Amino acid sequence: MEPNRKRSRSQMWEHFELISPNKVQCLHCSMQLVYNNNTSSMLRHTVLSMKTSRRTLFMVVDRKQDLDDPGFKEFVGKLDPTYTLPSRQALKKMVGEKYEEEKAKAKAQLQSVEASKQQIGSPRRTAFREPGRQLALHTDTGT
């Protein structure tokens, strides 16, 4: 006679949390399901959620949509229903501000490099070195 083997725990428990003796909660979407000592409802929820997610993802990928496309807005709404997409003008402004911010950071870093400046290989390539840091610049003057 073989010894009793402990039944292995279902992989569904990696995606759900028991919140009461008869309820579980999905760790991905927070939906609560009735739990009756088996994982059927969890499996059904997972399969349906995956189908919906894939359908939504392919809807966006297949169309290569932009911000104004209703399909893209629907996709974002499924990701986070509380999020409102910025307008094209607001996004343009945000990107411009981020660009200026990063440009200022890069300039500040370049100005802080006070180490040796030397030509490397080509007259259009310059290296700046300081202990623990190195920066090489290559300029193309179009000649």
Token representation of residue 18: 């028991």
pTM of the predicted structure, to 2 decimals: 0.35
> Half-sphere exposure of 31 toward its Cβ, with a 13 Å CA cutoff?
12
Q: What are the residue boundaries of the structural domains of the chain, listed by start?
A: 11-79, 88-138
Containing H/E element for 26?
A: strand 23-26
For 70-134, give the DSSP string: HHHHHHHHHH-TT--PPPHHHHHHHHHHHHHHHHHHHHHHHHH--SEEEEESEEEEEEEEETTEE
- What is the pLDDT at residue 115? 47
CA trace torsion 80, 83, 89, 95 (10° rounding): -70
Q: Which residue has the higher pLDDT, 75 or 30?
A: 30
Say if strands 32-34 and 16-20 run parallel, antiparallel, or are unpaired. Answer: unpaired
Q: What's at 77, amino acid-wise?
A: G
Q: Which of 27-31, 68-72, 99-103, 115-119 has the highest mean pLDDT?
A: 99-103
- What is the pLDDT at residue 139? 57
